[in-house]
Amino acid sequence: MAKGIAVIGDGESIKGFGAVGLETFVCNVPEEAPQLLKTVTEGDSYAVIYMTEELFALTEKERERFAERAFPAVIPLPGVKGNTGAGMRRLSGFVEKAVGSDILFKN
């Protein structure tokens, strides 16, 4: 089954993704991000949803629903404002959860 790829973020950060065929959802007001994510995931038509790190941090509650499911995958990416390291922190969180202590990123 084919599904789409969505990108949610501020206009500046996600402008380019539209050009390469991803569906972009502009969200310039961070407070609207949870509602927007809900709308985007409603039809279950996207398998991957990229979000800027800034908005990703604000939508924890909405993302909980997908934590145990294979689809959709909600993935944080750095926006134009620069890399906050949130993506890597998330990864080290997985390692910590699985192993008990962070053995990959501690150096």
Partner 1 sequence: MDIMNVNPTRMQMTKLKRQLQTAKRGHKMLKDKRDELMRRFIELVQENKRLREKVEAELEICNAHFVNASAVMNKKSLDSAMMSSKQQTGIEIGTRNIMSVDVPVFTAVSGSSDKGDIYPYGFAFTSFELDDAVEALEQLLPDMIRLAEIEKSCELMSAEIERTRRRVNSLEHVMIPRYEATIKYISMKLEENDRSSRTRLMKVKDMLLEKAHHYSEHNY
Contacts of 24 (CB under 8 A, 6+ apart): 6, 7, 8, 9, 14, 15, 17, 18
Among 1, 43, 44, 61, binds partner 1 (CB under 8 A): 1
Q: SS3 for 99?
A: helix
**Least distance to partner 1 from the beta carbon of 56, Å?**
12
Task: Output 20-27 pairs: Cβ under 8 A, ≥24 positions apart.
Answer: 22/50, 27/55
Among 3, 32, 35, 65, binds partner 1 (CB under 8 A): 3
Separation between Cα atoms, residue 99 and residue 70, nearest integer Å: 21
29 near partner 1 (CB under 8 A): no
4 near partner 1 (CB under 8 A): yes
Contacts of 73 (CB under 8 A, 6+ apart): 47, 48, 49, 66
Site map 33..72 versus partner 1, x via CB under 8 A: --------------xx-x----------------xx-xx-
Site residues (CB under 8 A) for partner 1? 1-5, 12-13, 15-22, 47-48, 50, 67-68, 70-71, 73, 75, 77-80, 82-83, 87-88, 90-91, 94-95, 97-100, 104-105
